[in-house]
Amino acid sequence: MSPTRTFPLLLALLLPAFAHAELTPAEQRISAAIDADPARPVALLQQLVEQNSGTMNLEGVAKVAELLRPELEALGFAVQWKPMTHTKRAGHLIATHAGRAGSTRMLLIGHLDTVFEPDSPFHGFVRTGDKAVGPGVGDNKGGLVVMLAALRAMQSAGTLKDADIEIVLTGDEEDAGIPESIARADLVAAGKRADVALDFENLAQENGKDMGSTARRSSNSWTLTTTGRSGHSSGIFSASMGDGAIYELARIVAAFRNELPEPKLTFNVGLIGGGQSAQLDAEGVRIAATGKSNIIPAIAIAKGDFRTLSQAQTQRVRERMQAIVARHLPHTEATLSIEQGYPPLPPTSGNRALLSRLNDVNRDLGLASMAELDPLKRGAGDIAFVAADTDGLVGLGIAGEGSHAPGESADLASIPRQAKRAAILMTRLSQQQR
């Protein structure tokens, strides 16, 4: 065998021995503890999934919290349930661990609820090898078991005692209560206390590779109402009758499509209706409309959303939309109301520095470096409510596919990998001063 072929072979044989070369003894104990108990996280995941916790199943959300309470208390956390009766939601589970005075304060974020209400035909937990299928198995119950596995490993290795951690698990992430100023008050307050926020929603993957997430886009909703003069259709476009409500609405929607596009922005029309009469229901998901082909429509309504990467982009898009709406067709009027839901989490230098720290962990674990995920490939999330106050990293939860749809699945083999990443990252952060 030639020397040029011998060296790569020797290197390949030696690499496993050096894969953990940069891990401290405590970090090696973390890794070993996670490998030693692969069944426990899966057993807890099955319990969580089998308990329905659709956002509006208030009792079910509270039961998931009660399943998690003893897990956290056994780790030395002080646990509190915060009811959200004012917002017509179940509540939030908040847990605190004091740690060493002056160490980096970490905020861990997850949620108890799913999009699957009790009447959903998708229920139960089915495991086939390393694949588990069930409502919320990935979003976000898989993330909760990753979080707990990481914390248990830190306790086993002796690194949890120094960690200053606050955990906020919301009960309404999938359908936030109103007003959000109350629904997210506890999370926002925790963000102001924190130095770092770690979000345990799904791990993103591309072409089989784990990706790092430093950003999430906003979620904003809008309602457009147009009106016009009604009468016999023979008068449409005349000087006395004008263009009618539906043409005015069509003009605006078409102008949105042609004039709004810019990088990292998406916008959608999700509901539309109009005629002689049109009325949006109280939930904002149905339009009851009447009309005839020979009557100029008096009213039209459309609802949609738009998603941005920064508050500056949100404001810019709002202003452009309003300017488009103001250019009325003859004898028509239009109003556009915009409600900001989830704010954006922009990809700041601080967030990217956190990803760099995570990639240091990956290197020392012998794992591949995680490239930065395009924010277009993540939806809105709770971590955005603390983006103005602290650096953050998203996607420390379980890997999987099909979130929010029947057949949602999780890759159970990703639990140890993600738990090691999170536990070692938190251990290293806890060892530095605020």
CB atoms within 10 A of CB 267: 17
Strands 105-111 and 196-199: parallel
Furthest C-alpha separation in the chain: 93
CA distance 6 to 196: 46
Question: Are the beta carbons of 130 and 413 closer than 8 angstroms?
Answer: yes
Owner of token pair 């009604």: 230
Q: What is the pLDDT of residues 355-406, one digit of tens each?
A: 999 999 999 999 999 999 999 998 889 999 999 999 999 999 999 999 999 9
Average of per-residue pLDDT across 146-166: 98
Measured CA to CA in angstroms, residue 16 lies from 6, 10, 28, 353, 420 at distances of: 17, 11, 14, 27, 17
Q: Convert the pLDDT of each residue in 259-271 to its tens digit.
A: 999 999 999 999 9
User: Is CATH 3.30.70.260 what the domain over 219-342 is classified as, yes or no?
Assistant: no
Per-position DSSP letters for 79-126, written without gaps between them: EEEEEEGGGTEEEEEEEEE--STTBPEEEEEEES-BS--TT-S--S-E
Domain residue ranges of the chain, discontinuous segments joined by +: 15-216+345-430, 219-342
SS3 275: strand
The string of DSSP letters for 210-250 reads EEEB--B--EEEEEEEEEE---BGGGTTSTTT-SHHHHHHH
Q: What is the pLDDT of residue 317?
A: 98
What CA–CA distance (Å, rounded) separates 27 from 427? Answer: 8
**C-beta neighbour count of 9 within 10 angstroms:** 10
Q: Does the structure show a pLDDT above 60 at 9?
A: no
Contacts of 393 (CB under 8 A, 6+ apart): 196, 197, 198, 199, 212, 213, 214, 351, 354, 355, 358
Burial class of 188 by CB neighbour count within 10 A (0 to 12, 13 to 18, 19+):
middle
pLDDT (mean) for 295-307: 98
Q: Which residues of 29-39 are buried (b: 16+ CB within 10 A; e: fewer)?
A: bbbebbeeeee
Give 127's DSSP letter: E
In Å, how far are 47, 148, 239 from 40, measured between CA atoms? 11, 10, 75
Answer whether 308's CB lies under 8 Å from 344's CB: yes
What is the Cα–Cα distance from 362 to 396, expressed in whole angstroms?
13
pLDDT score at 189? 98
Nearest by Cα to 351 from 398, 306, 395, 307: 395
CA dist 141 and 201 (Å) reads 9
Q: Is the dihedral of CA 148, 46, 65, 344 positive or negative?
A: positive
Partnered with residue 237 across adjacent β-strands are: none
Q: Is the pLDDT of residue 15 over 90?
A: no
Q: Is pLDDT at 352 greater than 90 in this prediction?
A: yes
Which range (88-92, 158-162, 377-381) has the least confidence?
Answer: 377-381
Q: Report pLDDT for 10.
A: 37
Minimal CA–CA distance to 423: which of 364, 368, 381, 382?
Answer: 364
- Phi then psi for residue 94, to 5 deg, are -125, 130
Helix (H) or strand (E) holding 177: none
Measured CA to CA, the distance from residue 210 to residue 292 in angstroms comes to 55
C-beta neighbour count of 196 within 10 angstroms: 20
pLDDT digits (tens, 9 = 90+) for 49-80: 999 999 999 999 999 999 999 999 999 999 99
168-186, pLDDT tens digit by residue?
Answer: 999 999 999 999 999 999 9
* DSSP string of 314-343, one letter each residue: HHHHHHHHHHHHTSPPTTEEEEEEEEEEEP
The predicted-structure confidence for 195-236, as pLDDT tens digits, reads as follows 999 999 999 999 999 999 999 999 999 999 999 999 999 999
pLDDT tops 50 at residue 45: yes
Q: pLDDT tier at 309 (50, 70, 90 boundaries)?
A: very high
Instruction: Indicate the CATH number for domain 15-216+345-430.
Output: 3.40.630.10
CB 295 within 8 A of CB 233: yes
**Taking all residues of the chain, what is their mean pLDDT, rounded to a whole number?**
94
